[in-house]
Amino acid sequence: GHSGGGMTALYLAALDDRITTSVVGGYFCDYYYSILGMSHCECNYVPGLLPLGDVADVGALIAPKPVRFINGQIDPIFPIEGVHKAYQTVERAYKLAGAEDACSLYIHPDGHRYDLAASVEWFNTYL
């Protein structure tokens, strides 16, 4: 999924064992850089989540299932610094689960757009 679909993909992968691999595109970013750092669409966030954890903590719940996060280098609504910060948490979770190769961060050079080729590559590997 991408953007709001990326949010859906993230939460489904974390909460539903029927999801065996996922791609989270144009969404995964530390809250302090996205919704707390700028005026943003609140439809992409779960009210009341932040006192319990950030989006990275939700991503960590996916381990050890394969997941790829895709973001744009110049995405104006999900800044790359926040993407890297959130991904560090997920990387640690996958390392602890012994599944380092099952998580991936793919950064394309553009803004807030879907990267079909990077998604297909991931699914061809894990489905």
Confidence check: pLDDT of 8 > 80? yes
- CA angle (38 as vertex; 34, 40 as ends), nearest 5: 75
Asked if residues 58 and 18 have their Cβ atoms less than 8 Å apart, the reply is: no
Q: What is the CATH number of the domain that holds 85?
A: 3.40.50.1820
State residue 50's pLDDT score. 80
Average pLDDT, integer, range 52-68? 97
Q: Which domain holds residue 37?
A: 4-126
Q: Is 47 helix (H, G, I), strand (E, B) or coil?
A: coil
Task: Tell me the C-alpha distance between 17 and 43, whole Å.
Answer: 25
Per-residue pLDDT band for 35 (boundaries 50, 70, 90) equals confident
Per-residue pLDDT band for 48 (boundaries 50, 70, 90) equals confident
User: What's the pTM value of the predicted model, to 2 decimals?
Assistant: 0.92
As for how many domains the chain has, the answer is 1
Average pLDDT, integer, range 63-70? 99
State residue 51's pLDDT score. 86
Per-residue pLDDT band for 36 (boundaries 50, 70, 90) equals low
Average pLDDT, integer, range 39-46? 70
Average pLDDT, integer, range 62-74? 99
